[in-house]
Amino acid sequence: MAHTMHDDIEKVLVTEEELHQAAQRLGAQISKDYAGRRLKVISVLKGSVVFLADLIRAIDVPLELDFMAVSSYGAGVKTSGVVRIIKDLDKPIEGYDVLIVEDILDSGMTLSYLKELLQERGPASIKIATLLDKPERRQTDVKADYVGFVIPDDFVVGYGLDYAEKYRNLPYVGILAPRVYEK
């Protein structure tokens, strides 16, 4: 049989069914919290797009979408601590209730930088929704307001998350076999 992406996964950490349920649960909570507000959802490219697609369809209050691309990693599995803006938002966020959607909160470098940067643009509020949270690895005091799953300190891929730009299209979240990045 031909080698597939699934062969590089040591263990499935979050199943498709669990991912679906998390999007429904967070979407319902966000719908409640943002009723009557001016919601702007900001997706951090590219890792958050699969989660974003499921999450926004579980939100039933009006919202506007914008995208931002930042990089803190290069091709490795450890943070460099340097955050670079690759693509900025298309429109101003002044007066909006901003919800940043991320794939994973790891060291927290990316989100603390992003939150500070967006804060200067005069939004009414800023909150964070993250699919995954790895609290053991935190190096800043940034906290997520909506969390899908708290996970242990393993390098994971799938459902948007990549290793060297691959594995984003896996339908579940899995632990990447260390032999893949150790070779």
Q: What is the 3-state secondary structure (H, E, C) of 67-98?
A: EEEEECCCCCCCCCCCCEEEECCCCCCCCCEE
Shortest Å, Cβ 151 to Mg ion: 15
Question: Could you tell me how many residues of this chain bind Mg ion (CB under 5 A)?
Answer: 1
Shortest Å, Cβ 26 to ligand IMP: 17
Q: Are 45 and 52 in contact (CB under 8 A)?
A: no
103 included as an active-site residue: no
CB of 38 or CB of 143, closer to ligand IMP: 143
CB of 18 or CB of 33, closer to ligand IMP: 18
CB contact set of 2 (below 8 Å; sequence gap of 6+):
none
Assess 128 for contact with ligand IMP (CB under 6 A).
no
Assess 110 for contact with ligand IMP (CB under 6 A).
yes
Residue 20's CB is within 10 A of a number of other CB atoms, namely 12
Query: Would you tell me which residues interact with ligand IMP (CB under 6 A)?
Result: 47, 72-73, 79, 102-110, 155-157, 161
